Amino acid sequence: MMYRILIFILIAFLSSSCRQKTKIVSMHKDETVDSCINIASVYYWKTVFSLNEYEQKFLQKNHIRKIYLRFFDVDYEYDERMVKSTIPVGTLIFKDSIPENIEIVPTIFITNEAMRIGDPQLLVAKILNRIEKMANTNDLPQIREIQFDCDWTRSTQQNYFDFLQNAKEELMQKTISLSVTIRLHQLKMPVPPVDKGVLMCYNTGNIKAKDTENSILDVNDVQPYVKGLSQYNLPLAIAYPTFSWVIGFRNEEFLSLFRKVNVKDSTLYENTVASAYKVVKDHYLEDKWVRSGDMLRLEESSYETLRKVKETVKEYYPSLMNEVILYHLDSINLSKYTDHEIQTLYSN
C-alpha cells in the first residue's frame, strides 16, 4: 500500500512540474512557454528564399515558430585607392512569401576582417538600415529579434563587442532584442553584450586532419566545451546540424571541402571503408580538378549522434532555453531523417 502511495505522489509531482510555466523576459513583452515543449526553430541559409513542397510541410508538421533567416553577409573589398571597406555580400532574394504565424529573425554573417576594419557605430547604422529596407520591401512580419553571426577572435573581440553594444542600444529603442551565435570555442571567451545567444553545436573537429572521423559533430569533441555551460552568463538556445559535406584529400593532405557530391556514383567513386571513397576517374568537382586516387570523406550528422549530443548538452545545462534550432531548412538533408527523429530532436 505504501509503495502505491509513493508512486502516486511521484507521478503527481512530475505532472505538476511539467505543467509549470517558464517565464522568458524579452525586449518586447513577457512571454510564458510550456516548460515541456521546445520552441521549434530552423535556420535558412541560402541566397534565395524559395520553399519546395517538402520544406513547406516540414514547417507545418513540426510547428516551426521561428526562422533565423540569413539576410546577407558583411565582408570587405578594396576601393580604387586600395583601401579596404565593408560591403554587403550575397543579399537574400525573396521568391516566396513568409508562411503565416512564423517569426523571422534577420541573421547577418560578418567576417572577421570586416569587423576588424569597420567602424562599429557606422557599421551598425548601415546594417540596421539595410535590414529595415529589406523587411519593408518584402512585406515581412514585425521584426522582434535580430541576430549577428561572427566567429570573432581575441583580435576582433573589442571591435565586435563595441559593435554589439551600439546595436543593442539602437534596437532597445525599437523594442527589438539582439542575439548572437556562439561557437563552442567562444564559450571560454568573455560573454558578448546581448540579450541571448545560440550555441552552434557543430563544426567540432579538425576538418583538415586526415584522421578526423567527423568534423561536423562528435560527442567526444562537444563534451569538453559544454562541461561549464551552467556557468555561462547568457541565456542560450542550441542549434544542431542536419547538413552533410565531403572532405577531399590528396596524398593525405587536405584538398578541399565539397558541399554537393553524389558519392554513390560508382563511375566516379569507389567506396573503400565506411564513409571513405576513392576517386576512380579524373574530373571536375565543384570547380576543383580531382584525380584518380584522391580520397573523399563523407561527413553527415546522424540522428544517433545528434541524440547523444543533445543528451550531453542537457546533462551539463539542464536550465537551457526552451528552444531547439536545426541548421538548416533544406529538403535534401532533412529528408534523411524520419518524422519521429525530427520530432524527437525538437522535443524536450
| Residue where one domain finishes, among candidates 264, 284, 299 | 299
63: left (phi over 0), alpha (psi -120 to 50) or beta: left
Residue in this structure with the C-alpha cell 546594417, named with its chain if needed: 127
DSSP string, 259-307: SS--TT-TTTEEE-STTEEEE-S-EEETTEEE-TT-EEEEE---HHHHH
Domain presence at residue 196: yes
Domain presence at residue 225: yes
Same domain for 307 and 295: no
Region 77-82 average pLDDT: 75
* Other C-beta atoms lying within 10 Å of the C-beta of residue 87: 14
Same domain for 188 and 69: yes
* Other C-beta atoms lying within 10 Å of the C-beta of residue 118: 24
Q: What is the pLDDT of residue 37?
A: 57
Domain presence at residue 181: yes
Residue-wise pLDDT tens digits, 50-62: 999 999 999 999 9
Residue-wise pLDDT tens digits, 120-154: 999 999 999 999 999 999 999 999 999 999 999 99
- Domain of 97? 30-243+301-346
CATH at residue 327: 3.20.20.80
Same domain for 278 and 168: no
Same domain for 259 and 198: no
Q: How far apart are CA 127 and CA 246, in angstroms?
A: 33
DSSP-derived 3-state class of residue 171: helix
Beta strand pairing call for 253-258 and 145-149: unpaired
Q: What is the pLDDT of residue 253?
A: 96
Same domain for 133 and 66: yes
Question: In terms of Cα–Cα distance, which of 136, 196, 191, 194 is closest to 167?
Answer: 194
Same domain for 203 and 72: yes
Same domain for 163 and 109: yes
DSSP string, 231-258: G-SS-EEEEEE---EEEEEETTEEEEEE
Residue type at 64 in one-letter notation: I
Domain presence at residue 219: yes
Domain presence at residue 14: no
Question: In terms of Cα–Cα distance, which of 180, 204, 206, 203 is closest to 191?
Answer: 180
Domain presence at residue 318: yes
Q: Is there a contact between 215 and 247 (Cβ–Cβ < 8 Å)?
A: yes
Residue-wise pLDDT tens digits, 293-323: 999 999 999 999 999 999 999 998 887 778 9
Question: In terms of Cα–Cα distance, which of 108, 212, 122, 101 is closest to 166?
Answer: 122
Please classify residue 107 by burial: count the beta carbons closer than 10 Å to its beta carbon, then call 0-12 exposed, 13-18 middle and 19+ buried. Answer: buried
Residue-wise pLDDT tens digits, 105-121: 999 999 999 999 989 99
**Long-range contacts of residues 165-170, Cβ cutoff 8 Å, at least 24 apart:** 165/193, 166/120, 166/121, 166/124, 167/124, 167/127, 167/128, 168/193, 168/194, 168/195, 170/124, 170/125, 170/128
**Grid cell in block for residue 207:** 576538418
Question: Using CA of residue 331, residue 333, residue 335, residue 341, what is the dihedral sign?
Answer: negative
Q: How far apart are CA 75 and CA 82, in angstroms?
A: 15
Mean pLDDT (the chain, rounded): 89
pTM over 0.75: yes
DSSP 191: P
Domain presence at residue 116: yes
| Residue where one domain finishes, among candidates 299, 319, 337 | 299
Residue 80 binned pLDDT confidence (cut-offs 50, 70, 90): low
Report the b/e string of 170-206 with b at 16+ CB within 10 A. Answer: bbeeeebbbbbbbbbebbeeeebbbbbbbbbbbebbe
| Residue where one domain finishes, among candidates 281, 299, 317 | 299
Same domain for 231 and 255: no
Same domain for 265 and 181: no
pLDDT at 208 over 50: yes
Q: How far apart are CA 117 and CA 109, in angstroms?
A: 15
Into how many domains does the chain fold?
Answer: 2
Same domain for 329 and 251: no
Same domain for 323 and 177: yes
Residue-wise pLDDT tens digits, 8-62: 444 444 444 443 333 333 444 444 444 455 799 999 999 999 999 999 999 999 9
Domain presence at residue 1: no
Question: Is the omega angle on the peptide bond into residue 328 within 30 degrees of 0, that is, cis?
Answer: yes
Same domain for 328 and 234: yes
Contact partners, residue 273, CB within 8 Å, separation at least 6: none
